[in-house]
Amino acid sequence: MNNYEGTIEFWDERFGKNISEQKYYNPNSPLTMTEIEEGLKWLTKGSASIIDFGCGSGTLLFRSLALGAKNVVGVDISPKAYELAIQTSTANKMNDNTNFVVGSIECLNKIETNSMDAGISSNTLDNIFPIDAKLVIKEFNRIIKKNGKLLIKLNDTMAEAVFEDDYYQLVSENFYKEESGLYFWNLSDSKFKELISPYFKIVQYFNVPFPKTDYKNRLYYLVNDK
Ligand SMILES: C[S@@+](CC[C@H](N)C(=O)[O-])C[C@H]1O[C@@H](n2cnc3c(N)ncnc32)[C@H](O)[C@@H]1O
Protein backbone atom coordinates (compact mmCIF):
# COMPACT_ATOMS: atom_id res chain seq x y z
CA MET A 1 0.00 0.00 0.00
CA ASN A 2 1.12 3.60 -0.55
CA ASN A 3 2.50 5.42 2.45
CA TYR A 4 -0.20 7.20 4.48
CA GLU A 5 1.78 7.72 7.71
CA GLY A 6 1.45 11.52 7.52
CA THR A 7 -2.29 11.20 6.86
CA ILE A 8 -2.76 8.93 9.87
CA GLU A 9 -0.74 11.24 12.10
CA PHE A 10 -2.75 14.28 10.97
CA TRP A 11 -6.18 12.70 11.47
CA ASP A 12 -5.24 10.90 14.69
CA GLU A 13 -4.21 14.24 16.14
CA ARG A 14 -7.54 15.84 15.06
CA PHE A 15 -9.84 13.00 16.12
CA GLY A 16 -7.78 12.21 19.23
CA LYS A 17 -8.73 15.60 20.73
CA ASN A 18 -12.40 14.55 20.99
CA ILE A 19 -11.93 11.12 22.44
CA SER A 20 -12.31 11.88 26.13
CA GLU A 21 -16.00 12.86 25.89
CA GLN A 22 -18.73 10.33 25.39
CA LYS A 23 -20.51 10.98 22.13
CA TYR A 24 -24.25 11.37 22.08
CA TYR A 25 -25.94 12.54 18.97
CA ASN A 26 -29.46 13.68 18.36
CA PRO A 27 -31.13 11.64 15.61
CA ASN A 28 -33.65 14.46 15.16
CA SER A 29 -31.04 17.06 14.47
CA PRO A 30 -30.17 17.65 10.77
CA LEU A 31 -26.58 18.23 9.64
CA THR A 32 -25.59 21.90 9.59
CA MET A 33 -24.57 21.73 5.92
CA THR A 34 -27.93 21.61 4.17
CA GLU A 35 -26.45 20.31 0.90
CA ILE A 36 -25.02 17.26 2.69
CA GLU A 37 -28.23 16.72 4.61
CA GLU A 38 -30.15 16.77 1.31
CA GLY A 39 -27.55 14.44 -0.25
CA LEU A 40 -28.03 11.94 2.55
CA LYS A 41 -31.82 12.15 2.22
CA TRP A 42 -31.42 11.24 -1.45
CA LEU A 43 -28.91 8.49 -0.67
CA THR A 44 -30.90 6.81 2.12
CA LYS A 45 -34.19 6.71 0.18
CA GLY A 46 -34.56 3.00 -0.59
CA SER A 47 -31.05 2.18 0.73
CA ALA A 48 -30.89 -0.07 3.79
CA SER A 49 -27.13 -0.74 3.75
CA ILE A 50 -24.50 1.97 3.26
CA ILE A 51 -20.70 1.90 3.13
CA ASP A 52 -18.52 4.97 3.71
CA PHE A 53 -14.84 5.05 2.67
CA GLY A 54 -12.92 7.59 4.77
CA CYS A 55 -15.81 7.80 7.22
CA GLY A 56 -13.88 9.69 9.92
CA SER A 57 -15.81 9.50 13.19
CA GLY A 58 -18.88 8.26 11.31
CA THR A 59 -20.95 11.47 11.28
CA LEU A 60 -22.48 10.82 7.85
CA LEU A 61 -23.23 7.19 8.67
CA PHE A 62 -24.93 8.01 11.97
CA ARG A 63 -27.01 10.59 10.15
CA SER A 64 -27.84 8.00 7.46
CA LEU A 65 -29.12 5.66 10.19
CA ALA A 66 -31.29 8.45 11.57
CA LEU A 67 -32.65 8.98 8.04
CA GLY A 68 -33.67 5.34 7.66
CA ALA A 69 -30.62 3.22 6.77
CA LYS A 70 -30.47 -0.05 8.72
CA ASN A 71 -26.84 -1.21 8.49
CA VAL A 72 -23.72 0.84 7.87
CA VAL A 73 -20.07 0.00 7.29
CA GLY A 74 -17.37 2.61 7.89
CA VAL A 75 -13.75 2.33 6.75
CA ASP A 76 -11.09 4.78 7.92
CA ILE A 77 -7.33 4.69 8.15
CA SER A 78 -7.18 6.68 11.41
CA PRO A 79 -7.35 4.53 14.57
CA LYS A 80 -8.52 7.57 16.56
CA ALA A 81 -11.40 8.19 14.13
CA TYR A 82 -12.33 4.53 14.59
CA GLU A 83 -12.24 4.88 18.41
CA LEU A 84 -14.53 7.87 18.22
CA ALA A 85 -16.96 6.11 15.87
CA ILE A 86 -17.12 3.10 18.19
CA GLN A 87 -17.64 5.39 21.17
CA THR A 88 -20.59 7.11 19.47
CA SER A 89 -22.03 3.80 18.33
CA THR A 90 -21.77 2.26 21.81
CA ALA A 91 -23.09 5.35 23.62
CA ASN A 92 -26.14 5.32 21.35
CA LYS A 93 -26.66 1.54 21.47
CA MET A 94 -26.15 1.21 17.72
CA ASN A 95 -23.51 -1.52 17.61
CA ASP A 96 -25.96 -3.93 15.98
CA ASN A 97 -26.35 -1.52 13.08
CA THR A 98 -22.75 -0.39 12.61
CA ASN A 99 -19.52 -2.03 11.53
CA PHE A 100 -16.46 0.23 11.71
CA VAL A 101 -13.04 -0.95 10.56
CA VAL A 102 -9.60 0.64 10.61
CA GLY A 103 -7.77 0.45 7.31
CA SER A 104 -7.93 1.37 3.68
CA ILE A 105 -8.65 -0.34 0.35
CA GLU A 106 -7.75 -3.79 1.69
CA CYS A 107 -10.92 -3.51 3.85
CA LEU A 108 -13.04 -2.96 0.74
CA ASN A 109 -11.50 -6.05 -0.89
CA LYS A 110 -13.04 -8.17 1.90
CA ILE A 111 -16.61 -6.98 1.28
CA GLU A 112 -18.90 -9.18 -0.79
CA THR A 113 -19.86 -8.25 -4.35
CA ASN A 114 -23.33 -6.62 -4.71
CA SER A 115 -23.77 -6.57 -0.93
CA MET A 116 -24.48 -2.88 -0.24
CA ASP A 117 -27.29 -0.60 -1.40
CA ALA A 118 -25.29 2.62 -1.37
CA GLY A 119 -21.92 4.25 -0.70
CA ILE A 120 -20.36 7.50 0.49
CA SER A 121 -16.93 9.04 0.22
CA SER A 122 -16.66 12.57 1.53
CA ASN A 123 -13.46 14.61 1.20
CA THR A 124 -11.27 11.55 0.94
CA LEU A 125 -10.88 10.48 -2.72
CA ASP A 126 -8.82 13.55 -3.65
CA ASN A 127 -6.64 13.18 -0.55
CA ILE A 128 -5.32 9.75 -1.50
CA PHE A 129 -2.99 8.57 -4.29
CA PRO A 130 -4.79 8.71 -7.68
CA ILE A 131 -4.15 5.01 -8.21
CA ASP A 132 -5.86 4.28 -4.87
CA ALA A 133 -8.81 6.56 -5.67
CA LYS A 134 -9.34 4.60 -8.88
CA LEU A 135 -9.28 1.35 -6.91
CA VAL A 136 -11.85 2.68 -4.44
CA ILE A 137 -14.21 3.62 -7.28
CA LYS A 138 -13.73 0.20 -8.85
CA GLU A 139 -14.41 -1.49 -5.52
CA PHE A 140 -17.51 0.65 -4.93
CA ASN A 141 -18.74 -0.45 -8.34
CA ARG A 142 -18.26 -4.09 -7.36
CA ILE A 143 -19.73 -3.81 -3.85
CA ILE A 144 -22.71 -1.53 -4.54
CA LYS A 145 -25.72 -3.24 -6.10
CA LYS A 146 -26.89 -2.45 -9.64
CA ASN A 147 -28.77 0.90 -9.57
CA GLY A 148 -27.40 1.52 -6.07
CA LYS A 149 -26.44 5.09 -5.18
CA LEU A 150 -23.13 6.76 -4.36
CA LEU A 151 -22.53 10.19 -2.84
CA ILE A 152 -19.09 11.69 -3.42
CA LYS A 153 -17.83 14.98 -2.04
CA LEU A 154 -14.59 16.43 -3.37
CA ASN A 155 -12.50 19.42 -2.40
CA ASP A 156 -12.33 22.39 -4.75
CA THR A 157 -9.91 22.50 -7.67
CA MET A 158 -7.13 25.00 -6.99
CA ALA A 159 -5.32 27.43 -9.32
CA GLU A 160 -1.88 26.19 -10.41
CA ALA A 161 -0.19 29.19 -8.75
CA VAL A 162 -1.21 27.92 -5.29
CA PHE A 163 1.21 25.02 -5.64
CA GLU A 164 4.24 27.28 -6.13
CA ASP A 165 4.26 27.65 -2.35
CA ASP A 166 6.79 25.45 -0.51
CA TYR A 167 3.87 24.10 1.54
CA TYR A 168 3.20 21.76 -1.40
CA GLN A 169 5.66 19.15 -2.59
CA LEU A 170 4.94 17.68 -6.02
CA VAL A 171 4.63 13.87 -5.90
CA SER A 172 3.27 13.21 -9.39
CA GLU A 173 1.18 15.10 -11.97
CA ASN A 174 -1.33 17.30 -10.06
CA PHE A 175 -0.70 15.30 -6.89
CA TYR A 176 0.99 16.94 -3.90
CA LYS A 177 2.10 16.22 -0.37
CA GLU A 178 1.28 19.11 1.95
CA GLU A 179 3.45 20.22 4.85
CA SER A 180 0.52 19.11 7.07
CA GLY A 181 1.28 15.49 6.08
CA LEU A 182 -1.88 15.20 3.96
CA TYR A 183 -1.96 14.53 0.23
CA PHE A 184 -3.91 16.63 -2.24
CA TRP A 185 -4.89 15.61 -5.74
CA ASN A 186 -5.89 18.70 -7.72
CA LEU A 187 -8.66 16.83 -9.48
CA SER A 188 -10.50 18.82 -12.16
CA ASP A 189 -14.21 18.24 -12.91
CA SER A 190 -13.34 16.77 -16.30
CA LYS A 191 -10.74 14.39 -14.84
CA PHE A 192 -13.23 13.24 -12.21
CA LYS A 193 -15.84 12.60 -14.91
CA GLU A 194 -13.32 10.59 -16.90
CA LEU A 195 -12.47 8.58 -13.78
CA ILE A 196 -16.02 7.85 -12.68
CA SER A 197 -17.86 7.35 -15.98
CA PRO A 198 -16.78 3.71 -16.63
CA TYR A 199 -18.36 2.80 -13.28
CA PHE A 200 -21.12 5.25 -12.27
CA LYS A 201 -23.51 7.69 -13.92
CA ILE A 202 -23.58 11.27 -12.56
CA VAL A 203 -27.21 12.16 -11.87
CA GLN A 204 -26.78 15.46 -10.02
CA TYR A 205 -24.01 17.90 -9.17
CA PHE A 206 -23.96 20.65 -6.53
CA ASN A 207 -21.47 23.20 -5.29
CA VAL A 208 -21.22 23.28 -1.51
CA PRO A 209 -19.87 26.54 -0.08
CA PHE A 210 -16.88 25.85 2.16
CA PRO A 211 -17.41 27.78 5.42
CA LYS A 212 -15.31 30.93 5.97
CA THR A 213 -13.39 30.65 2.67
CA ASP A 214 -13.87 31.43 -1.02
CA TYR A 215 -13.55 27.74 -1.79
CA LYS A 216 -16.37 25.34 -2.52
CA ASN A 217 -16.72 21.58 -2.23
CA ARG A 218 -18.19 19.53 -5.08
CA LEU A 219 -21.00 17.10 -4.38
CA TYR A 220 -21.88 14.37 -6.87
CA TYR A 221 -24.96 12.14 -6.80
CA LEU A 222 -24.09 8.96 -8.69
CA VAL A 223 -25.86 5.74 -9.66
CA ASN A 224 -24.30 2.37 -10.40
CA ASP A 225 -25.74 1.76 -13.86
CA LYS A 226 -22.85 -0.37 -15.15
C1 LIG B 1 -11.56 15.19 5.48
S2 LIG B 1 -11.79 13.75 6.47
C3 LIG B 1 -13.48 13.39 6.08
C4 LIG B 1 -14.20 12.60 7.12
C5 LIG B 1 -15.68 12.30 6.78
N6 LIG B 1 -15.78 11.59 5.52
C7 LIG B 1 -16.50 13.56 6.70
O8 LIG B 1 -16.81 14.02 5.59
O9 LIG B 1 -16.83 14.11 7.77
C10 LIG B 1 -10.90 12.51 5.54
C11 LIG B 1 -10.94 11.12 6.19
O12 LIG B 1 -10.37 10.19 5.28
C13 LIG B 1 -9.54 9.29 5.99
N14 LIG B 1 -8.52 8.76 5.07
C15 LIG B 1 -7.51 9.44 4.49
N16 LIG B 1 -6.78 8.62 3.72
C17 LIG B 1 -7.34 7.40 3.80
C18 LIG B 1 -7.03 6.12 3.23
N19 LIG B 1 -5.99 5.95 2.42
N20 LIG B 1 -7.83 5.07 3.53
C21 LIG B 1 -8.90 5.23 4.37
N22 LIG B 1 -9.22 6.40 4.95
C23 LIG B 1 -8.46 7.47 4.67
C24 LIG B 1 -8.95 10.14 7.10
O25 LIG B 1 -8.47 9.39 8.18
C26 LIG B 1 -10.13 11.05 7.47
O27 LIG B 1 -10.93 10.51 8.48
Domain, as residue range, for 142: 5-15+51-178+189-223
Mean pLDDT computed over 27-41: 93
Which residue type is seen at 144? I
The conformational region for residue 29 under phi > 0 = left, psi -120 to 50 = alpha, else beta, is beta
Which DSSP string corresponds to 32-90? SSHHHHHHHHHHHTT-SEEEEET-TTSHHHHHHHHTT--EEEEEES-HHHHHHHHHHHH
What is the sign, positive or negative, of the torsion defined by CA atoms of 57, 180, 213, 119? Answer: negative
Cα-to-centroid distance, 90 and ligand 1 (Å): 21
Rounded mean pLDDT, 157-170? 96
Tell me, yes or no, whether 210 lies in a domain: yes
Q: What is the CA radius of gyration of the chain?
A: 17
pLDDT of residue 54: 98
pLDDT band for position 211 (cuts 50, 70, 90): confident
Summarize pLDDT for 57-114 with one digit per residue, the tens: 999 999 999 999 999 999 999 999 999 999 999 999 999 999 999 999 999 999 999 9
Alpha-carbon distance 82 to 100, whole Å?
7
Does 30 fall in a domain? no
pLDDT above 90: residue 1: no
Residue 156 has pLDDT above 70, yes or no: yes
In a domain, 183, yes or no: no
Q: How many domains does the chain have?
A: 1
Q: Residues near ligand 1 with C-beta < 6 Å?
A: 4, 7, 11, 54-56, 59-60, 75-78, 81, 104, 122-124, 127-128
- CA dist 7 and 18 (Å) reads 18
Query: What pLDDT is recorded for position 24?
Result: 72
Q: Name which residue sits closest to atom 12 of ligand 1, judged by CA.
A: 54
Q: Of 189, 47, 179, 190, give the one whose Cα is nearest residue 119.
A: 47
Average of per-residue pLDDT values in the chain: 95
Ligand 1: centre distance to CA 148 (Å): 22
CB 189 within 8 Å of CB 218:
yes
In this structure, is residue 112 part of a structural domain? yes
pLDDT for residue 209 is more than 90: no
CA 191 / ligand 1 centre spacing (Å) = 21
pTM above 0.95, yes or no: yes
Distance 47 CA to ligand 1 centre (A): 22
The CATH number that applies at residue 80 is: 3.40.50.150
The answer to whether position 24 is within a domain reads no
Q: For residues 42 and 68, what is the distance between their CA atoms, to the nearest angstrom? A: 11
Ligand 1, atom 26, residue with closest C-alpha: 56
145 belongs to a structural domain: yes
Cβ pair 99, 62 in contact under 8 A: no
Helix (H) or strand (E) holding 196: helix 189-196
**38 is a domain residue:** no
Q: How far is CA 8 from CA 30, 43, 51, 83, 132, in A?
A: 29, 28, 20, 13, 16
Summarize pLDDT for 179-208 with one digit per residue, the tens.
Answer: 999 999 999 999 999 999 999 999 999 999
Closest residue to atom 14 of ligand 1, CA basis: 54
Q: Which atom in ligand 1 lies closest to the alpha carbon of residue 36?
A: 8
CA 56 to centroid of ligand 1, rounded, Å: 5
Of ligand 1's atoms, which has the minimum distance to the CA of residue 132?
19
Q: Please state, as a whole number, how many other Cβ atoms lie within 10 Å of the Cβ of residue 83.
A: 18
For residue 152, being part of any structural domain is answered with yes
For range 19-30, the mean pLDDT: 78
